Structure 1
Amino acid sequence: MDAKVDNSSTLFKLKKRRSTTSFCNLLIMGSFLRLALTQQNRRKRRRSRDMSEIPLDLLIEILCRLPAKYLARFKCVSKQWSSLISSRYFCERLYTIRQRKRRPHLYMCLVDTDGQSALLSMSSTSPDNTCFVVDQDLSIPGMGGHYLNDLHGLMCFSMGKRACIYNPSTGQRLTLPKIKPHIIAEQGQNRSINRYYIGYDPVNDQHKLLCTILMYSDRLFNLKSEHWVFVLEAGGSWKKVVPHENYRPHAPFALGQYCISGSVVNYLAWHDMYTYAIVSFDFRSEEFTTIIAPEDDRDYVFVPALERKANLIEYDGKITIFEHSYLKTRGMAVLWVLEDAEKKEWSTRSLVLEPCQRHLVEDTELIVQGTTQDGKVILAPSAVPSRFYILCYDLQSNDLRKVDIKGVPPHHLIDKERYFDLRLIDENERVIYLET
């Protein structure tokens, strides 16, 4: 009987000890849990306090000094960061900072025969700008066309049947709605690719897009054209331009460059196979004016539209037609300078390459790809050669120099015929905000 009592007492004491131990363990675990939660909350508060302690101006200064490719990624950090990086103030501050250390920068668009496109960014690596190296691949899926338009850091290209506005500095992209043209192709007529020009209305502080739609038969017979304008702002839509009574249909040069002066964009266009003109469109008033281009009749042979090689450039601060139809065969180019637009007065200057430079232009067809910041004309092969290069033509000294392009990714050097377009982003570039 006593043994049973002792066993029961022992079991009771053992259970009591176990329950006490379990209770102590629970207390200890609870203490550790509270301590862990407290430390976690402290870390959270510390992080939030540290983040809040970074002034917004300092955060903007830090972000503005990062490469553009990182800015696009950092927009995914939070909604606050996305709104900050996309804001107008940030874009203007980004432009101001990068102006201080800006170097010549080229953008090149490659297009193969299947319509596949690649957009490459290049920067100069030499003090005399004799070599550019690809520093970033900005290719966008679905990007089409090899004609780039740019203004204030914005690029325009086609995405299927739509126009796309792209800001390579912030990674912003805006695809515009389709245009429903009013003109309809008749039997035997062709519909041309839509041509786009970016412009700026300084009075209303608006960036706009001009689109020209063409209908024509062979050899530009029965030419019809209509024009649409889109304001780059939230809720924008295409609006048809109503031309004046003296308006004459025209077809912009397929490979033509353009010049922008204030709110006016100027480009070359054909009225028929043998008549071309400088067409000016004012983005402020949304009106067209036309000045018929002079004809070089020294050989008494009129060059038809399909054979003429001419582009619009700015020379000595004036709108100028750079005629280079005979650059390959004769090493000769002609400058037609518009001295007075109201009086339609022109002056002319002929350029003949030195014999030691003729080999640079004799082996390939060249197209004008704009001008550099110091007024040199950029010439490039119409088809991409095995070795990438461009030519810079100094019109003042009549000197032609070759500039190499290096670092093109191997997958862009496929065995297909490719064309390419170049744009030099000048020192007046402004990184602007795209409202969507």
Structure 2
Amino acid sequence: MNTHHQKEAPTRVPLTIQGGGALSKRKRWNESSKDDDVVGKLHLLPLDIEVEILTRLPGKSLMKFLCVSKIWSSLIRSQRFVSSYYAAKPSRFIVAFTNSVFGDPKRLFIFSGEEETSSSSLVANLDITIPSVTLPHGGFKYCTVHGFMACFVTFSRKAKGACLGYDPVGDQFKALTLLTSVYAHNPSFMVHEVIRLGGGGRVVSRTRVTSPPYHPMTVGLSINGFMYYGASVPNQSAAPTPVFVCFDVRYERILSFITTPKEVLVWQAFTSLIEYKGKLAVVVPDCLGSTSFDRFNLWILEDVKKHEWSKQTFELPLSLPFTLGMCQRMISQGTNKAGEIIFSPSTLPGRAQPFYVFYYNTDTRNMRRVRIHGVADTEEFWSRYGLTGVCSASFSPQHVDSIAFI
């Protein structure tokens, strides 16, 4: 779901820049913009200036300008413009939580705010609440994928799990679901379904993909057109082998099982997958036998083809909670543009309590605590929505208003 544009659903057009001379472009823009002062001013400017101005506009305005002309529609949809737009826009963060872990009624709350470097407090605004949608308890996190947030939606009654990926070349969102039951004993192969999503979130097509047998261990993470998730591969003569499944979103195929050190997936579902400097990385807290951790290991997949990993250990200036069950737990939620690794709670801290996230700088080894104002931190908010008990939460950094609509 796009957390900033719930009401509009424009038609998808090809991501190509149409040819033609500047004069013909101006003529067509003139014919399409007689009643729009902004467009009337823009079409008199050189093309590079127009692009510069368009990148400064909010996503909602660009949605309207898609209807101005085919030239503008093609320009706004082009890969070059999309890349320029994302680079120029400040990052935003998303906070999502559910008001009920086990009881009813369930409701998903989605907040967003603008990220600021070196700030000790940020402000989040409630964007939308969605009934009958929830986040599971247990330390899972849900990142935004190219401006969209993937929640639990039933694509298929047989599907046991799904993760969202994005193909930047084809400008296509796809969901990968596992049809083979995770409880199946000794399956000879695994069956997956790839669901291509179109305008309005509708299903465009479904295709099936098979792979050697494995047991999934983590949620998926989409990076640069590939999807990764931890798994274990059965071994008849030894313990299961830990791997990362690599799925090519564009060509809809499982490329490989990436051999992984056992220490990387020791926490199974509690292992945090993040994108670190454009690479797949895993944050593993060092908290065996403890209810907190003050250091963590960062494993980085340096070479996908050679299955080469590097390991770095970082000491934290203060301890962060990491308890099982229904108690507090800090998990890594990725990085911001500055490269700081972010830790946030997997549940709301309590009734009307402040919501804090922690930013750790791997270069300076410093950590800052940032309060996110507005996230269920008042008694009035809890009473208004009838919040009770444990509320599962997730924090997603580096969210941008998407202009690549599904």
Q: What is the CA distance between 1:82 and its match in structure 2?
A: 9.3
Q: TM-score, normalised by structure 2?
A: 0.66
Quote the Cα distance in structure 1 between the aligned partners of 2:331 and 2:118.
Answer: 23
User: Match of 1:121?
Assistant: 112
Alignment partner of 1:280 is 2:263:
no
- Please say if residues 228 and 238 of structure 1, whose CA atoms lie closer than 8 Å, have aligned partners that are also in contact: no
Between 56-65 and 205-214, the greater mean CA deviation after superposition:
56-65
User: Match of 1:371?
Assistant: 335
User: Match of 2:305?
Assistant: 342
* Amino acid paired to 1:373: K
Larger Rg: 1
Q: TM-score, normalised by structure 1?
A: 0.62
* Amino acid paired to 2:243: A
Quote the Cα distance in structure 2 between the aligned partners of 1:197 and 1:270.
Answer: 21
Q: How does 1:97-246 map to 2 (within 5 A)?
A: 99-100=87-88, 102-113=89-100, 114=104, 115-124=106-115, 127-145=117-135, 148-159=142-153, 161=154, 178-179=155-156, 181=158, 192=160, 194-200=161-167, 202=169, 204-213=170-179, 215-217=181-183, 225-233=190-198, 236-244=203-211
Q: What is the CA distance between 1:229 and its match in structure 2?
A: 1.5
User: Match of 1:422?
Assistant: 395
Between 310-319 and 370-379, the greater mean CA deviation after superposition:
310-319
* Amino acid paired to 1:395: T
Q: How does 1:284-433 map to 2 (within 5 A)?
A: 284-288=250-254, 289-296=256-263, 303=266, 305=268, 309-326=270-287, 328-354=291-317, 357-358=318-319, 364-385=328-349, 386-408=353-375, 410=378, 412-413=381-382, 414-425=387-398, 430-433=402-405
Q: What is the CA distance between 1:104 and its match in structure 2?
A: 3.0
User: Match of 1:17?
Assistant: none
SS of equivalent to 1:110: strand
5+ residue gaps, structure 2, are 1-32, 44-49
Deviations 1:20-76 (Å, cap 9, x if unpaired)?
xxxxxxxxxxxxxxxxxxxxxxxxxxxxxx9637364559999987766x769x98x
Quote the Cα distance in structure 2 between the aligned partners of 1:382 and 1:398.
Answer: 23
Q: What is the CA distance between 1:117 and its match in structure 2?
A: 0.8
The change in CA–CA distance for 1:145 and 1:52 in structure 2 (over 3 A counts) is same
The change in CA–CA distance for 1:281 and 1:106 in structure 2 (over 3 A counts) is same
- Please say if residues 171 and 404 of structure 2, whose CA atoms lie closer than 8 Å, have aligned partners that are also in contact: no
* Amino acid paired to 2:260: A
Aligned residues: 332
The change in CA–CA distance for 1:337 and 1:54 in structure 2 (over 3 A counts) is closer
The change in CA–CA distance for 1:290 and 1:51 in structure 2 (over 3 A counts) is same
Quote the Cα distance in structure 2 between the aligned partners of 1:238 and 1:53.
Answer: 38
Q: What is the CA distance between 1:295 and its match in structure 2?
A: 1.8
Q: What is the CA distance between 1:133 and its match in structure 2?
A: 0.5
* Amino acid paired to 2:107: Q
- Please say if residues 274 and 304 of structure 1, whose CA atoms lie closer than 8 Å, have aligned partners that are also in contact: no
SS of equivalent to 2:167: strand
- Please say if residues 106 and 121 of structure 1, whose CA atoms lie closer than 8 Å, have aligned partners that are also in contact: yes
Q: What is the CA distance between 1:281 and its match in structure 2?
A: 0.3
Quote the Cα distance in structure 2 between the aligned partners of 1:396 and 1:257.
Answer: 27
- Please say if residues 259 and 265 of structure 1, whose CA atoms lie closer than 8 Å, have aligned partners that are also in contact: yes
Q: What is the CA distance between 1:275 and its match in structure 2?
A: 4.4
Q: What is the CA distance between 1:402 and its match in structure 2?
A: 1.2
SS of equivalent to 1:216: coil
User: Match of 1:248?
Assistant: 213
Q: What is the CA distance between 1:90 and its match in structure 2?
A: 5.3
* Amino acid paired to 2:207: K
Quote the Cα distance in structure 1 between the aligned partners of 2:118 and 2:217.
Answer: 34
Deviations 1:361-404 (Å, cap 9, x if unpaired)?
79932122222122222211122102201112223333332111
SS of equivalent to 1:280: strand
SS of equivalent to 1:237: strand
Q: What is the CA distance between 1:199 and its match in structure 2?
A: 1.7
User: Match of 2:5?
Assistant: none
Quote the Cα distance in structure 1 between the aligned partners of 2:85 and 2:251.
Answer: 33
- Please say if residues 366 and 380 of structure 1, whose CA atoms lie closer than 8 Å, have aligned partners that are also in contact: yes
Quote the Cα distance in structure 2 between the aligned partners of 1:344 and 1:63.
Answer: 42
- Please say if residues 182 and 215 of structure 2, whose CA atoms lie closer than 8 Å, have aligned partners that are also in contact: no
Quote the Cα distance in structure 2 between the aligned partners of 1:342 and 1:98.
Answer: 29
CA RMSD of aligned residues (A): 4.1
SS of equivalent to 2:142: strand
SS of equivalent to 1:296: helix
